[in-house]
Structures are given as structure tokens and as C-alpha cells.
Amino acid sequence: MMREWEPGKIVPSVLLVDDHEVNLVALEGILKPLGARIVKARSGEEALLSLLRETFAVILLDVQMPRLDGLQTAELIKQREQTRHIPIIFITALSREAAYVFKGYAHGAVDYLLKPIDPEILRAKVRVFCDLYVRGEEIRKQALESDVKDVFFTSVVHELQTPLAAAKAQAQLALHQLGEQRGEAGTAQALRVISQQIDRLAQLVGDLLDVNRLEAGQLELQMGEFDLGALLQEVASRMQPESGLHPIEVRAPHSILMTGDRARIEQVVANLLSNAIRYSPEGGPITVNAEKNGENVRIAVSDRGLGIGKEHQQLVFERFGRAHGPTLGGLGVGLTISKGIVQQHGGTIWVESTGRAGEGSTFHVRLPTRGKPEDQG
């Protein structure tokens, strides 16, 4: 009996409202076998306070109380959006009163019990509401934790892509049209900023979709042969900041042929470089080393920035995992995506850092040169 609510580990709470302590104790005794949490209120006002603090599966409400009586209390409960749905069982000595109550609440979840109370009937009624509550909460919990939420989330994020693409196209068009006129430098600059911000948003949206695809195992690789050395040079020169604070140097053999998804590997390198820049606010050189090592290639991206303490070195590869405060920006998914891509290629990624600012970090990536072994058939 006591373990009745065990499965979902959701324990329903029942609110007892009566101005007589003896009645409260008696009700509590009757309901005890249900194993629900019991909260007692000695007046309508006290009941309303309890309702502000937590939610209940059902409320047992004595109709005859001084000041705020049961009916008035119920009125107030039904007026509040957050408490309107909570079922109420009125307890009254008068059947005339009970009939009146029912007229007023034709549609709400309202029931009544006549005094003297039959313990069996009371328990049965309360149990029904507790059951309903627990089942409802379980469904809510599952929906929150499961695919339903992911599907919803993914479709929302997916929908963001269309307006972003349209906005980007309009900004580009406007820039193009301005280009043909003179003396509009300020407007052109504003449009360029708008265009860059749209790119950032599109990047965020793309990242979120990638995380979801990776977790659902739906990230498909477009395998092909390419030169990793050339790719590294290309990404490095594209990402080289103009400030001069972060000179990027690539040290790699002239050509490293490998099989993999070029665009996705490029995404990994770009993520590591953007992190190296972002997390070395004081500047410092950034190096990209690459070498072929038997059947594998090794890439190492080093910076002289903030570093990552040992305690955070696992976390940073987790979804939304960050080692530094939000001030440096970042959603915390770049490394999650990179790890997913590397692993899908049959490789590994890890970080090496003392965690001392100025000593920086090195991110290592090991990839098989000939694609993932099982893909070779």
C-alpha cells in the first residue's frame, strides 16, 4: 500500500483544510495508507499560502470555516490560473450545501463528501485523484526528457534556417544595389554588420542541428579523398584574424592524402582554431601541426591562452559544456560536434593543458587516413 506511488518516483501531495485540528489529524490518519504527502492548513488563508508554494494532487476542503469559508476559498483557488485545475473534495455536514456546491462547479473537478466521513470512500476518492496526478506528471516528465522534446526542438531550429537565408539574401542584394551608388558608406557598413550577424546566427542554428543529428546518429559523412595539408593551410588563412594578435602557423608536410568527409574535417579544424583564438584573449601564437603516422594522421592545434583545468577536460566535449564563464561567449557545442565528427571517422580527439593561463592548450586529433575501417567493406 505504502509503495503505491513508487514507479515514477513522483509522490503526490494532498492538501487538507479544516479549522479543527482534530479533524485534520483524523483525515491524515485515514489517508496515511495511500503513502501520499500530507500538508495541513488550518484556514482558507493558510491553504492559499500552501498553494503558492507547491502543487497538489487534490485538496480536501472543509466547507464550514470562520472568515474565509470553504466555498470562498475554492472560489479563489479556481480564479488562479496555476491552481484552477486542482481537484477539490468538499467536506460538509449538510447535503443541501453539497447540492449547492455542485451547481456552482458543474465543469470543474469537484467532488464532495458528507460527514460523518466513511474512511473507505474518502480513501478511494483521494486515490483516484492521486493516480491521475502521478500519471499526468509521468507523461510530462517523459515528454520533457524524450524524443518529443528533441523533435520539437529540432523542428523549431530547422524552421529558423529559412528566414535567416532570406534575410541574408536581402542584405546581400541591398549591398549590391548600394555598390552602384556613391556616398552611402555608412549604410553599406551597417548592411555588412547585419550580414555578418546573420552569418553568426546561421552558424549557431547549424551547430544546434548538427548536435541533434549527431546524437540521433543521423550525421551522414560524404567520404572522399583529399589533401589534409592543403585543407589546413586554407582554413588557417581564412581564419587568420586581422588584429595581428594571433598569428597562425601551419606546420605540415606538403601533402597528406586521406579519405574522409572534407567539409566535416574542415569544420573540426575551424572549431579548434576559433576556440584557440577566442580563449586566448591576450593573444599569442597559434600553431597547427600535422603529420602522417602509419595508418593515421595526427593534427595538433596549440595556443597560449587560458588553458583548461584537468577537472574540465572531459566536460568541454559534452553538450553545452564550458570551462569558462559565459562572458567569452559560446554555446558550448563546438567541441561536442567536433568529437562526434572525429569519432564517426573512427578517430579520437583529446585535450592537453596544465590549466594555467598563458600556458594554453593543445587539442589533438587522430584520424585514420583511409576512412573508417568498417566502411572499407
Ligand X SMILES: Nc1ncnc2c1ncn2[C@@H]1O[C@H](COP(=O)(O)OP(=O)(O)OP(=O)(O)O)[C@@H](O)[C@H]1O
Least distance to Mg ion, CB of residue 340, Å: 14
Interaction of residue 260 with Mg ion, rule CB under 5 A: no
Binding partner of residue 168 among Mg ion, ligand X, none, CB cut-off 5 to 8 Å per kind? none
Cell 509521468, located at residue: 138
Interaction of residue 12 with Mg ion, rule CB under 5 A: no
What is the distance, to the nearest Å, from the Cα of residue 288 to the centroid of all Cα atoms in its chain? 33
Least distance to ligand X, CB of residue 213, Å: 15
Half-sphere exposure of 234 (CA within 13 A, CB side): 12
Least distance to ligand X, CB of residue 258, Å: 23
Buried b (16+ CB within 10 A) or exposed e, 289-323: bbebeeebbebbbbbbbbbbeeebbeebbeeeebb
Q: How far is it, in rounded angstroms, from Cα 15 to Cα 47?
A: 8
Q: How far is it, in rounded angstroms, from Cα 239 to Cα 328?
A: 18
Spatial contact of 175 and 195, defined as CB atoms under 8 Å apart: yes
Least distance to Mg ion, CB of residue 71, Å: 60
Interaction of residue 334 with Mg ion, rule CB under 5 A: yes
Q: Give the sign of the dihedral formed by CA 146, CA 152, CA 156, CA 162.
A: positive
Binding-site residue total for Mg ion (CB under 5 A)?
Answer: 2
Closest among 286, 300, 289, 293 to 258, alpha carbons compared: 293
Query: Between residues 43 and 338, which has the closer beta carbon with respect to Mg ion?
Result: 338
Query: Between residues 96 and 310, which has the closer beta carbon with respect to ligand X?
Result: 310
Spatial contact of 40 and 81, defined as CB atoms under 8 Å apart: no
Query: Between residues 74 and 306, which has the closer beta carbon with respect to ligand X?
Result: 306
- Radius of gyration over every alpha carbon of the chain, rounded to an integer in angstroms: 32
Least distance to Mg ion, CB of residue 308, Å: 12
- The two beta strands, 13-17 and 37-41, are parallel
Q: How far is it, in rounded angstroms, from Cα 59 to Cα 47?
A: 9
Binding partner of residue 276 among ligand X, Mg ion, none, CB cut-off 5 to 8 Å per kind? ligand X
Query: Between residues 40 and 339, which has the closer beta carbon with respect to ligand X?
Result: 339
Interaction of residue 212 with Mg ion, rule CB under 5 A: no
Over the window 262 to 281, marking each residue x when it contacts Mg ion by CB under 5 A and - when it does not, the resulting string is: -------------x------
CB atoms within 10 A of CB 268: 28
Residues making contact with ligand X (CB under 6 A): 207, 271, 275-276, 279, 303, 305-308, 316, 321-324, 330-336, 361
Q: What do you get for the CA distance between the two ends of the chain, in Å?
A: 58
Least distance to Mg ion, CB of residue 335, Å: 6
| Listed ranges 70-78, 81-89, 208-216, 329-337: which one lies at the site for Mg ion (CB under 5 A) | 329-337
Interaction of residue 340 with Mg ion, rule CB under 5 A: no
Binding partner of residue 279 among ligand X, Mg ion, none, CB cut-off 5 to 8 Å per kind? ligand X
DSSP of 132-180 = HHHHHHHHHHHHHHSHHHHHHHHHHHHHHHHHHHHHHHHHHHHHHHHHT
Interaction of residue 229 with Mg ion, rule CB under 5 A: no
Binding partner of residue 306 among Mg ion, ligand X, none, CB cut-off 5 to 8 Å per kind? ligand X
Least distance to ligand X, CB of residue 37, Å: 40
Query: Between residues 252 and 277, which has the closer beta carbon with respect to ligand X?
Result: 277
Least distance to ligand X, CB of residue 247, Å: 16
Q: Which residues bind Mg ion (CB under 5 A)?
A: 275, 334
